Chains A and B, each alone.
Chain A
Amino acid sequence: MNKKKFIEFLGFFSLRICVYLVLAVILLFVYDIGSKGVGSINWEFLSQAPRKGMTEGGIFPAIIGTFLVTIVTAILAVPLGMFAAIYLNEYAKQTKLTRIIRLSIRNLSGVPSIVYGLFGVILFVNILKFGTSVLSAGLTLGLLTLPWTITASEEALKTIPNSYREGALALGATKWQAIRTNVLPYALPGMLTGTVLGLARAAGETAPIMFTGAAFYLPMLPKSLADQFMALPYHLYVMATQHHAISQVRPLAYGTALVLIILILLMNLAVFILRFRLRRVIKD
């Protein structure tokens, strides 16, 4: 083997090793949680409330709580994020101000989630008087998700060739017509992917909901958006660190973690299918 070929071999070999390492870590992680959690999962676990000081019973209220709060998050973050991205990418002039705005949005996505939690307490719980509730927590998570949905949507819009826009304009389309009929349909799969990834991340957050609405234990489901709720990530946090009998409830904690991971996986799968469908519709 000559030197050039050896270097090439070495290069690809190290790249491959990196991929295998990452894969191994992920597999180990999933296996660990899966094997320890699968034993706790049964119909009762999924459909019942916790009992006996959360040492028995299920996580039904937490599943519902996470579901509800994610819906509130989506209602805030999805349309607002997409529209903001459309404005930034299609309409806004590329001035210093828009560059600063864009940079700020990028930076916001790096702000620790606990900071969002504190902000949510001040704005939604105290100033707007929504109290500790599904609404406050959902809106807080919505703010956390916004930078992600904006950035992902903008990136998706950027992938649409300019010739689609110009071609439409040259036929007498208004700018909005060109965007609505000849840009958005093709950008939508990408926009949705980024958005749902952001939502999935929000659904798994603990810190922002801890002070804004998630409860340690509730005997009932939230009846309205103004009620407190139980949520999977917070429940997991409680079971793993705050419970009076941590070792006793460890299997339940793993079960909760597994359910959370599966829910997020399902969300991603749903987007995957939606994307596939949208692509087919566009092609036809």
Chain B
Amino acid sequence: MNLKAKIEAKDLNFYYGDKQALKKINLIAPKNKVTALIGPSGCGKSTFIRTLNRMNDVILGTRVEGEVFLDGENIYSPKVDVVELRKRVGMVFQKPNPFPKSIFDNIAYGLRINGMKRKKNIEEIVEKSLKEAALWDEVKDRLGENAFALSGGQQQRLCIARSLAVEPDVILFDEPCSAIDPIATAKIEDLIQILKKNYTVLIVTHNMQQAARVSDFTAFLMLGELIEYGETGKIFTNPENKLTEDYITGRFG
């Protein structure tokens, strides 16, 4: 691959207690590309994506082995500040999780906890983020309303805008469309295409068509192992591994 690696996992093992959830994963997510992770339930794709912003750290009894490089720096090195890492690697969760605050305050949350005080700066970034998440036109007249008043799809775009506001380099999507309807899903897929110009995107999805539509590279995981990884076009038309073929043709999963 002639691309610049943004994220690189090297021999990554992950354990929940005694149970090994990831087995020697080696994977490169290139800069400004969309990398999709597919595989049957419980294959470790969500676990994998959560190792990239060390979100698994908060789950008790878990353990990581191996390395994950972000711009060549191992994020599991003791020198790394997890808080700084999570600012650089944003995350959008499976279920839209707006905070019970106004639309404005949801976006401003990340700015405020990171110490931004000037109202004018905050307002500028809130507007910029909402525009980037293609939500501005729908909410610009009601920024003071509670975020729960938005539809599910809007809530998810709000959460995307919220993570964009802290200016990450990488955005992780953990099945972002599994709780929203097809039209809202289409909007988020379009959005991901635009986002990759400025960000590196990784997306976990259950939906193979979605992976085919949005991603440049696809990784197929099964039972914690990376079975096959390559350009999306190749994985979906000419997979090398029999298991991959069986999965994408719908023989199991």
Contact = CB atoms under 8 A, between A and B. Distances in A.
Interface of A is mostly: helix
B93 A166 contact: yes
Contact of B113 (A164, A171, A282): A171
Interface stretch (A55-63, A173-181, A224-232): A173-181
A171 B113 CA distance: 9
Contact of B83 (A93, A163, A172, A282): A172
A163 B92 CA distance: 11
A182 interface: yes
A167 B99 contact: yes
Chain B contact patch, size range? 20 to 34
Contact of A171 (B60, B95, B100, B109): B109
Contact of A170 (B91, B101, B114): B91
Residue of B60, B101, B163 most packed against chain A (CB within 10 A): B101
B178 interface: no
Nearest to A182: B99
B109 A181 contact: yes
Interface in A83-101: 93-94
B97 A172 contact: no
A169 interface: yes
A264 B87 CA distance: 48
A169 B86 contact: yes
Contacts, number: 64
B210 interface: no
Interface string A72-110: 000000000000000000000110000000000000000
A166 B159 CA distance: 12
A169 B101 CA distance: 17
B90 A170 contact: yes
Given A171-B87, A172-B86, A166 B99 contact: no
Nearest to B102: A284
Contacts of B102: 284
B53 interface: yes
Interface of A: 93-94, 161, 163-174, 177, 181-182, 186, 282-284
Interface of B: 53, 55, 58, 60, 83-84, 86-87, 90-91, 93, 95, 97, 99-102, 109-110, 112-114, 146, 159, 162-163, 166
The 4 closest A-B pairs by CB, nearest first: A172-B87, A163-B97, A171-B110, A170-B91
